[in-house]
Amino acid sequence: MEDTGGWCTIESDPGVFTELVKMIGVEGVQVDELYSLDPYEFQRIAPVYGLVFLFKWTPSISRQSSKRNILQYNTVPDLFFANQVINNACATQALLSILLNATEPDDSSSVKLKIGDELTNFKMFTKDFDPQLKGLAISNCILVRSAHNSFAPVQVLESVQDGNTAQNDAEDELYHFVSYVPLNGSVYELDGLQKGPILLGKIEEGSSWVDVAGPAIQSRIDEYSASEIRFNLMAVVRDRSMVLENEKKVLEEKLRVDDSVKERLMEIERELEEEKRRKENSRRENARRRHNYVPFMLEMLKILASKGELQKMIDEAKQKQSQS
């Protein structure tokens, strides 16, 4: 991969990803974390536009993936697939792979995914590009890169360590994101490190596309030893608050002639409060991620030192460490 040095590493967190998609102009969706591949989990948050899977990358896993049913990039002309040509961009690229391939289910909901003018123009502009050029286009998209880099961790103090140790640590902790999307009756795995999209299978009549994606994700997990538990699965779904507000308006109209909807309206109010609380927590956490606490900590250490407390704290900590 070509490293242009323009992208930071971001945390795999649904609150981060939800804010990121809003920053690039996408409306009507949020990102939720999933803790199992149980069909009930998918039914609870349906419709699911796509899945993002984070796993520990190893050369052997990459070689196994390259032996799967990889298609030529132009085999499915309506499918947006881009190679990852820059380090640290795979999280945002996995999200884009879902957003630029998203299709709306045939239902009556007024809440729809809108990718916005910027991504619409980007998709049209890159329509005839090969995967390598699409990857370069993503890396040079100012809106996407700026939104991604707004979550850069604050790094004011740098530790000095042996170069070989740092290299070994980096090699031991390489993680990668891939996406899973449905399109035109088939399900695809989109991995920017592969030459093309991976066809997972057809969607059987009467079944859901996640019935195809779920076993593929489980198979990836099974490729690791039983001791490896560092996986993360997230789903791009409809904005829950917008869905609930829409249902609330419908039921409030119905309440004029039907008292039986009162109980559901009370449930909706509780769910809206929970969503509001959850989103406020995410907003607060994202603000903390961006805040630089180093000046505060340095000032606190100076005050402790000026009062003669710092050395006593250091001595006490050393004593506790020697006793343990």
Is the peptide bond preceding residue 77 cis, with omega within 30 degrees of 0? no
pLDDT of residue 168: 41
Nearest to 5 by CA among 167, 145, 160, 173: 145
Location of structure tokens 């990039």: 73
pLDDT digits (tens, 9 = 90+) for 232-244: 999 999 999 999 9
- Catalytically active residues are 90, 176
Q: Which two tokens stand for residue 292?
A: 């630089």
Classify domain 14-238 at the CATH topology level: Ubiquitin C-terminal Hydrolase UCH-l3 (3.40.532)
pTM of the entire structure? 0.84
Location of structure tokens 């003018």: 117
Q: Which two tokens stand for residue 264?
A: 């559901």
Angle between helices 14-23 and 262-290 (to 10 degrees): 90
Location of structure tokens 């998609």: 21
What is the Cα–Cα distance from 14 to 169, expressed in whole angstroms? 26
pLDDT band of residue 60 (cuts 50, 70, 90) is: low
User: Residue ranges of the domains in the chain?
Assistant: 14-238, 240-295
Q: DSSP letters of 73-84?
A: TTSSTT------
Percent of the chain whose predicted confidence (pLDDT) is above 90: 56
pLDDT digits (tens, 9 = 90+) for 297-314: 888 988 988 988 888 899
